[in-house]
């Protein structure tokens, strides 16, 4: 998959779908030649033009005025030696200089994919699945080495990159920026699609034309954030869900991140992605190394659906781990929106009984079971049971739930601490706080300094004391604020620029230990809904709570955007009560069901308050989902019609063997004398014959002719399900 042509000085990373070309250019600079559809070969005809551009310097040692790295497409550009565009790294040397000059030194090609140290990453099961290229660049003056790492799998249209810097000098170097990757594009028109939002409105898809200048997509919140997901796609202006080129760029990281997109005067576009360089400063001691998170770049020649499907497959197969990686996920009932903090035995046991009667498989006890937690002003950090809130305690409840043949899940928010808690009274120094300043609160809580081993150990002991005593099948790991006054008391002043990343390394170490030691537990990540829905977390937890907004109509956009990158089996989605608690909207139970079934399905409402009709409908939904969940959780997902574009929304799921398919149509608002709507399906076998109700129809008809949506649907929030099975 990876070759090096000595004569042309070109690396070719290649599988059946993609090629990626890197050229060692004059003076040992590493140029980016190409990323896109597979090339059968590279003949060497495509060489960067030697053409003088005024004010573009010629690097030391170059013989011609026409050669400048200021105009070259580069693999990993720096600062200070002739490229004035956005750099991929920024280093402060002991003499105060920020000028470095890295040139090609050597390479190695490895079978498989080495692990990153302490960071989540994609992996191989067998070495032959992938190859990894390491290219070493050296700055002999600074005595620093950069190692650029590129992995290509045989079966995925993706390149995975990360960077490592080693300090071979005798002085400390301050790393102020070290991107995971830089991807340069030649002169061409491109749009960027990014996923932005806020609490209850996560991963909204926005598409913009890339203009000359610089645009930054980032988070400085200490987490990947509700506001800007660590993902962008660069697409042609004509790219749609079904056609055109798309390049997805996804950082496997859950902390501060940035993607800088810069289009230069020659209309070349540079995309630099990595840990946010803002306020970042890592003291790289003599002999030490620093490794970045990785970026998964997916290429699609056939539109956004193909890009997303590659992410879904690659992440499910080679990022997510553990017992539940490819296992069907249980339907659940969560008590949060049913009770908030205000619950007692009668309510909780009543919900469990009703859930059992409806066929739901797991009960999750949310916030409010620990310390003296009756509201969100107290007790975070005190992970011991709230005596008396439930007469038989957690163990009694877990036993009861298990006796009903259901699983039992529990909520934690391990990274947080309330000022009003035992733990804070004992250890006020354990929070992130800047000396001599006040501490901002958010939801009346502080953030524990997870960069500290003693803090992590305390929380780990408290959590596992519960887990070792109470039989728990599922954990919801929440995180309900962002970081302010970021400072760690254990670190020297010069190291304070390391705190945010050290926090992430500490968190990842914790998650690794917890998930490895409790392999039977299904974990779901959460951060006030979808504030930390990222590929980093997926390595430890196979699913995430997508949004605190459970309104079906809001969820159309949220889940649509989330599906750009993240697998359907990771998208937690619940049916909740109406009027909806976030939007006050009154939608049909049918549309709430169909939207939630397009994710990992559950309920989050007071089941003891249902009417007989609602119970019957929910029972049917649960049964239907269980019957089809393999298809819905792990089938190929296709976005047919976007909620960002019209009032007709449609999604589809096709089994990997193309023998079954499900489509959901959603029409949020009714219209009088409405146009007739045809749904054209996708992803079926052209000449397969599919049973739909009492008709047998070929795949080609379903895909090209389509079928009419039921014209008798009326009222707002209408929806229709279509199920097809090959005969």
Q: Tell me the H-state helices in 518-657.
A: 535-538, 552-562, 589-597, 612-634
Burial class (CB in 10 A: 0-12, 13-18, 19+), 142: buried
Give the helix, strand, coil percentages of the chain, each rounded to 5.
Answer: 20, 30, 45
Q: Terminus-to-terminus CA distance in the chain, angstroms?
A: 40
Between 418 and 642, whose beta carbon lies closer to ligand DGJ?
Answer: 418
Q: Which residues, at least 6 apart from 239, have a Cβ–Cβ distance to it below 8 Å?
A: 191, 245, 246, 303, 304
Judged by CB under 6 A, the residue of 291, 313, 366, 648 near ligand DGJ is 366
**Whose Cβ is closer to ligand DGJ: residue 65's or residue 581's?**
581
Closer by beta carbon to ligand DGJ, 369 or else 508: 369
- Tell me how far, at minimum, the Cβ of 340 lies from ligand DGJ, in Å: 8
Residue 531 Cβ vs ligand DGJ, minimum distance, rounded to whole Å: 8
371 binds ligand DGJ (CB under 6 A): no
What does 332-364 look like in DSSP terms, one character per residue? EEE-HHHHTT---HHHHHHHHHHHHHHT--EEE
Among the residue ranges 41-49, 522-530, 564-572, 696-704, the one whose residues contact ligand DGJ (CB under 6 A):
522-530
For residue 666, state whether it binds ligand DGJ (rule: CB under 6 A).
no
Query: Which range, of 119-127, 313-321, 526-534, 612-620, touches ligand DGJ by CB under 6 A?
Result: 526-534
Q: What is the contact mask toward ligand DGJ in residues 373 to 412, using x (rule: CB under 6 A)? A: --------------------------------------x-
Give least dist CB 206 to ligand DGJ, A. 23
Q: Helices (H), strands (E): how many in the chain?
A: 12, 38
d(CA 319, CA 21): 25
Check residue 42 for interaction with ligand DGJ (CB under 6 A): no
Question: Could you confirm whether 548 is annotated as catalytic?
Answer: yes
Q: Which residue's CB comes closest to ligand DGJ?
A: 367
Find the shortest distance in angstroms from Cβ 631 to ligand DGJ. Answer: 27
How many residues touch ligand DGJ (CB under 6 A)?
Answer: 11
Pick the binder of ligand DGJ from 101, 291, 478, 606 (CB under 6 A).
478
Q: Would you state the structure tokens that stand for residue 412, as one six-digit string?
A: 């934690």
**548, 551, 648, 660: which one contacts ligand DGJ (CB under 6 A)?**
548
CB of 76 to ligand DGJ, least distance (A): 38
Q: Give ∠ CA 518-310-18 in degrees, rounded to 5.
A: 130
Residue 343 engages ligand DGJ in binding (rule: CB under 6 A): no
Among residues 318, 390, 413, 411, which one has the least CA distance to residue 604? 411
59 or 368: CB nearest ligand DGJ:
368
Cβ closer to ligand DGJ: 297 or 480?
Answer: 480
Backbone angles phi, psi at 225, to 5 degrees: 90, 150
Query: Cβ distance 556 to 547 under 8 Å?
Result: no
Residue with tokens 């949506």, as numbered in its chain: 709
Nearest-approach distance from CB 530 to ligand DGJ, in angstroms: 8
CA atoms within 13 A on the CB side of 327: 14
Picking from 464, 363, 374, the residue whose alpha carbon sits closest to that of residue 408 is: 363
Exposed e or buried b for every residue in 217-248, given b needs 16+ CB within 10 A?
bbbbbbbbbbbbbbbbbbbbeebebebbbbbb
Total length of the chain: 727
Cβ proximity of 165 and 175 under 8 Å: yes
340 or 723, CB closer to ligand DGJ?
340
Nearest CB to ligand DGJ, comparing residues 101 and 366: 366
Q: Which residue among the candidates 366, 478, 534, 551 is catalytic per the annotation?
A: 478
Dihedral angle over CA of 492, 493, 496, 502, nearest 10: 0
* Burial degree of 117 (CB within 10 A; 0-12, 13-18, 19+): exposed
Distance CA 667, CA 647 (A): 6
Stretch that binds ligand DGJ, among 72-80, 524-532, 671-679, 680-688 (CB under 6 A): 524-532
Q: Could you say which of 205, 423, 526, 663 contacts ligand DGJ (CB under 6 A)? A: 526
Q: Mark whether 478 is an active-site residue.
A: yes
Q: How open is the CA angle 475-204-501, to the nearest 5 degrees?
A: 55
Looking at the DSSP bridge assignments, the partners of residue 146 are 137, 165
Q: Which is nearer to ligand DGJ, 546 or 719 (CB)?
A: 546
CA distance 550 to 645: 21
Which residues contact residue 21 at a Cβ distance below 8 angstroms, ignoring those fewer than 6 apart?
Answer: 10, 11, 12, 13, 32, 33, 34, 35, 39, 42
CB of 330 or CB of 528, closer to ligand DGJ = 528
Please report how close the Cβ of residue 469 comes to ligand DGJ at its closest, in angstroms: 22
* Per CB under 6 A, 524 contacts ligand DGJ: no
Residue placing its CB nearer to ligand DGJ in the complex, 458 or 576: 576
**What are the b/e assignments for 679-704, b being 16+ CB within 10 Å?**
bebbbbbeebebebeeeebbbeebee
| String of DSSP letters for 452-467 | -HHHHHHHHHHHHHHH
Of the pair 282, 474, the CB lying nearest ligand DGJ is at 474
The CA dihedral of 494, 497, 499, 502, to the nearest 10 degrees, is -100
Asked if 415 touches ligand DGJ (CB under 6 A), the answer is: no
> Using CB under 6 A, which of the segments 77-85, 124-132, 525-533, 625-633 binds ligand DGJ?
525-533
Whether the CB-CB separation of 365 and 407 falls below 8 Å is answered with: no
Q: How far is the CB of 604 from ligand DGJ (least distance, A)?
A: 8
- Residue of 294, 361, 367, 606 that binds ligand DGJ (CB under 6 A): 367
Q: Which is nearer to ligand DGJ, 473 or 478 (CB)?
A: 478
Q: At closest approach, how far in Å is the CB of 395 from ligand DGJ?
A: 22
From candidates 274, 409, 497, 528, binder to ligand DGJ by CB under 6 A: 528
Nearer to ligand DGJ, 220 or 226 (CB): 226
The whole-angstrom distance between residue 541's C-alpha and the CA centroid of its chain comes to 11
Interface region with ligand DGJ, contact rule CB under 6 A, candidates 41-49, 125-133, 521-529, 665-673: 521-529
Near ligand DGJ by CB under 6 A: residue from 56, 181, 458, 480: 480
Q: Which of 313, 449, 548, 648 is catalytic?
A: 548
Does position 174 interact with ligand DGJ (CB under 6 A)? The reply is no
Minimum gap (Å) between residue 545 Cβ and ligand DGJ: 5
Residues 302-341 as x/- pattern, contact with ligand DGJ by CB under 6 A: ----------------------------------x-----
Residues that bind ligand DGJ (CB under 6 A): 336, 366-367, 411, 478, 480, 526, 528-529, 545, 548
- Which are the catalytic amino acids? 478, 548
């Amino acid at each position: 998959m990876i070759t090096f042509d000595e004569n042309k000085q070109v690396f070719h990373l290649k599988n059946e779908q993609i090629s990626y070309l890197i050229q060692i250019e004059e003076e040992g600079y590493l140029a980016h030649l190409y990323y896109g559809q597979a090339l059968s070969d590279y003949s060497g005809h495509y060489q960067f033009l030697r053409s003088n551009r005024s004010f573009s310097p010629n690097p030391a040692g170059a013989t011609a005025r026409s050669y400048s790295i200021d105009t070259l497409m580069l693999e990993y550009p720096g600062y200070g030696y002739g490229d004035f565009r956005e750099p991929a790294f920024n280093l402060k040397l002991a003499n105060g200089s920020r000028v470095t000059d890295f040139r090609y030194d050597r390479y190695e090609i490895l079978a498989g994919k080495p692990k990153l140290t302490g960071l989540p990453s994609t992996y191989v099961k067998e070495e032959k699945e992938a190859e990894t290229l390491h290219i070493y660049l050296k700055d002999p003056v600074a005595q620093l080495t950069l190692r650029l790492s590129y992995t290509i799998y045989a079966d995925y249209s993706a390149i995975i990159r990360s960077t490592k810097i080693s300090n071979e000098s005798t002085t400390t170097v301050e790393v102020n920026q070290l991107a995971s990757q830089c991807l340069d594009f030649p002169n061409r028109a491109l749009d960027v699609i990014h996923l932005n939002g806020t609490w209850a409105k996560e991963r909204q898809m926005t598409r913009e034309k890339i203009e000359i200048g610089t645009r930054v997509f980032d988070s400085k919140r200490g987490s990947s954030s509700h506001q800007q997901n660590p993902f962008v796609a660069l697409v042609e202006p004509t790219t749609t869900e079904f056609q055109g080129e798309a390049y997805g760029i996804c950082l496997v990281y859950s902390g501060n991140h940035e993607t800088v997109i810069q289009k230069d005067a020659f209309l070349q576009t540079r995309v630099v992605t990595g840990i946010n360089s803002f306020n970042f400063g890592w003291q790289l001691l003599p002999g030490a190394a620093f490794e970045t998170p990785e970026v998964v770049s997916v290429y699609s020649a056939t539109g956004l659906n193909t890009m997303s499907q590659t992410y879904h497959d690659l992440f499910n197969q080679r990022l997510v781990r553990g017992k539940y990686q490819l296992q069907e996920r249980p339907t659940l009932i969560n008590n949060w929106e049913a009770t908030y903090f205000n619950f007692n035995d009668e309510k909780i046991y009543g919900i469990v009984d009703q859930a059992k009667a409806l066929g739901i498989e797991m009960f999750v006890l949310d916030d409010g079971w620990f310390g003296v937690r009756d509201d969100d002003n107290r007790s975070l950090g005190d992970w011991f049971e709230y005596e008396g809130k439930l007469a038989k305690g957690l163990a009694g409840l877990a036993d009861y739930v298990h006796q009903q043949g259901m699983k039992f899940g529990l909520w934690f928010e391990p990274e947080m601490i309330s000022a009003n808690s035992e733990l804070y009274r004992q250890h006020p120094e354990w929070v992130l706080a800047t000396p001599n300043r006040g501490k901002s609160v958010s939801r009346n809580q502080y953030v524990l300094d997870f960069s500290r081993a003693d803090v992590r150990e305390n929380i780990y002991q408290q959590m596992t004391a519960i887990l070792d005593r109470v039989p728990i099948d599922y954990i919801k790991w929440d995180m309900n604020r962002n970081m302010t006054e970021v400072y760690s008391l254990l670190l020297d002043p010069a190291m304070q620029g390391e705190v945010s990343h050290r926090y992430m390394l500490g968190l990842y170490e914790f998650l690794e230990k917890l998930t490895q030691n409790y392999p039977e537990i299904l974990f779901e990540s959460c951060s006030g809904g979808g504030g930390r829905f990222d590929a980093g977390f997926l390595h430890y937890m196979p699913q995430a709570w997508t949004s605190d907004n459970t309104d079906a109509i809001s969820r159309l956009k949220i889940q649509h955007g989330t599906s750009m990158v993240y697998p359907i089996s990771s998208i937690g989605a619940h049916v909740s009560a109406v009027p909806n608690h976030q939007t006050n909207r009154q939608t049909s139970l049918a549309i709430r069901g169909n939207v939630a079934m397009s994710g990992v399905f559950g309920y989050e409402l007071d089941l003891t308050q249902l009417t007989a009709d609602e119970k019957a409908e929910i029972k049917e939904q649960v049964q239907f989902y269980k019957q089809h969940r393999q298809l819905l959780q792990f089938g190929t997902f296709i976005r047919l019609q976007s909620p960002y574009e019209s009032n007709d929304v449609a999604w589809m799921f096709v089994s990997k063997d193309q023998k079954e398919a499900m489509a959901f149509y959603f029409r949020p608002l009714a219209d009088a004398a409405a146009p007739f709507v045809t749904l054209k399906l996708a992803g079926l076998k052209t000449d397969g014959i599919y049973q739909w109700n009492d008709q047998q129809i070929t795949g080609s008809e379903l895909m090209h002719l389509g079928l009419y949506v039921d014209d008798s649907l009326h009222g707002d929030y209408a929806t229709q399900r279509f199920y097809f099975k090959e005969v």
